[in-house]
Amino acid sequence: MKKYIPLFLLLFFATAAVSVAQSDNISPARKQAIDSLALEKVKDLSKYISIIGSKETQFSEANRVMDRAEELFAPGAEMGVSSLNRKEIAYYKVRRYFERLMALNYDRVNITWYDIHYISDLERQPDGRYVGVVTVYQRFEGTSLESGLNYRDTTKKDITIYVEKKQTQIAGRTIEFWDVMLGDIRVTETSA
């Protein structure tokens, strides 16, 4: 089912693109559609992160999910992490971040996401692509059974999204559509 989502979205955007196919500007209606697509990708990422972090996920499965998660990102994307005690940013490649998440030394890990998000305007870059930021909040709970210690934090995740107009051929016709890729993510621990 998941594999067909891009096709579904492609058709959706291709339909929406007909009336303004020649324009590179993003109308409010188009922006809203792109926001939805971006949010879908962020939802996928949030689900992948929860699965990778869960101790119930088998190693091989976690690796497969990491592969899927990596596909959401533009090449070279990084996670920049800071905490309440350490404001300096620690940088991790996306894959490394996932691997560290998987290797956390807890017996039980529960990652959930707050029911709130914020999506920025889209700004155009020098190369013509658009860039935006989606903000979400994650709650992490880790339990160590032996020590009985619980660790809990809430992090704000500011996720870069790149929006690009692409073309594809369907039944001999060139169809334009807008694609969304995830980019660098800034992870900030909050006081919540």
Partner 1 sequence: MRKLILSVLVLVLSLEMAPGQGLYSPGSPKDDGRFAASTKQVNQFFRRFNAEESVDGSKRYYSEDPLYRDRELRGKFISILFDNETSGITNELKSEFMREVLSENMPQYINFHREGWFAEVEAFFSYRGKRENVTLFLKIQPEGLGYEWVIDKVIFQPFKDIFNKPEGDAKGFLHPLSHELGFMNLRKAFQDSDTPEAFTPKEYQPDYLTLFLYEMKRGNIRFETISDVKFHFFQINNWYFELNQFNRPGFNTGWLIGNLVKLSNGDKETLLRYIYDQK
Nearer to partner 1, 1 or 171 (CB): 1
Per-residue CA distances from 172 to 19, 88, 164, 169, 175 (Å): 19, 52, 22, 6, 9
Which of 93, 95, 139, 165 lies at the binding interface for partner 1 (CB under 8 A)?
139
Smallest distance from partner 1 to CB 40, Å = 10
Burial class (CB in 10 A: 0-12, 13-18, 19+), 180: buried
Per rule CB under 8 A, is residue 103 in the interface with partner 1?
A: no
Choose the stretch contacting partner 1; rule: CB under 8 A; options: 4-12, 80-88, 145-153, 171-179: 80-88
Task: With H, G, I as helix, E, B as strand and everything else as coil, classify residue 124.
Answer: strand
Per-residue CA distances from 131 to 56, 118, 125, 159, 181 (Å): 36, 14, 7, 10, 10
Smallest distance from partner 1 to CB 172, Å = 30
Query: Which residues are at the interface with partner 1 (CB under 8 A)?
Result: 1-3, 28, 31, 39, 42-44, 46-47, 50-51, 54, 57, 61, 64-65, 68, 80, 84, 87-91, 111-118, 120-121, 123-128, 130, 133, 135-137, 139, 156, 158, 188-192
